[in-house]
Amino acid sequence: YNCEQKLKGSDKDLKLALKILPTKFQDIAVAALFVTSSTTRGTKTTTTMDAIFNGLGAALGFAALHAANDYIFKPQDLGCLCPPLGAVAVLLFSMPMAPASQPKAVIGGHLIAGAVSCAVVMMELPQYGEMAAVALTITLMSMLEMTHPPAGAYAFLYVNKGMKPIGMLAPGLAGACVLICTQQVFLRIKAAVLPKLKKH
């Protein structure tokens, strides 16, 4: 779909990013700007510097996703890019301490979504596949205390696209793991650099 139409009426920064950046890097800019703006608006205790770092983290996360996709997954006829990962990035980089942002929830949620959705696709439910996949994913995540909202979106995507069994691992779980690794490295860098910047 047309990204500019989707963002019609939203932040000017997002529209500008779509115009000046090559298509390949538009999602990086959108994710970074969204994380930055949502953090600034939603939390009064978050400083501007924190918000900027959150956006930078998301940008690095998507840069890592593109690199992994192009050099690791594509040669294997796989991928690690899908829309729900935008929401994963928001959680990991702007709300790293939230229960839904913990590796257990991120990985567990995607494993549950993948397994449930694969079963639903194999059952060939004609009209209610997405509903069944999302509902069962939410139920199991809640029971196992692994609630991760983007996993629900991945369950919908999986069934809607009729993915093959490999969809249990890629692109959702694989992409989430790349983002987690990037987040863990970035948080250590942020913890070392941010206090020094705030002193100046």
In tens, the pLDDT along 81-130 reads 999 999 999 999 999 999 999 999 999 999 999 999 999 999 988 789 99
Total domains, the chain: 1
Least confident piece of the model among 12-16, 94-98, 106-110, 137-141: 12-16
pLDDT of res. 117: 97
Predicted TM-score (pTM) of the model is 0.78
Task: Give residue 82's domain range.
Answer: 3-199
Integer angstrom CA distances of residue 93 from 16, 39, 115, 128, 134: 23, 10, 26, 34, 25
Query: pLDDT at residue 18 above 70?
Result: no
- pLDDT (average), residues 176-183: 98
pLDDT of res. 195: 83
Q: Which of 110, 83, 80 is nearest to 171 (CA)?
A: 80
> Cα separation of 109 and 192, whole Å?
30
- pLDDT (average), residues 192-199: 82
- pLDDT (average), residues 173-186: 98
- b/e string for 131-166 if b means 16 or more Cβ within 10 A? ebbbebbbebbeeeebbbbbbbbbbbbbbeeebeee
Q: Residue 143 corresponds to which amino acid?
A: M
Q: Which residue has the tokens 């194999």?
A: 122
194 pLDDT band, cuts 50/70/90, is confident
The rounded mean pLDDT for the chain is 85
Q: Residue 58 corresponds to which amino acid?
A: A
Query: pLDDT at residue 7 above 50?
Result: no
Per residue in 52-89, pLDDT tens?
999 999 999 999 999 999 999 999 999 999 999 999 99
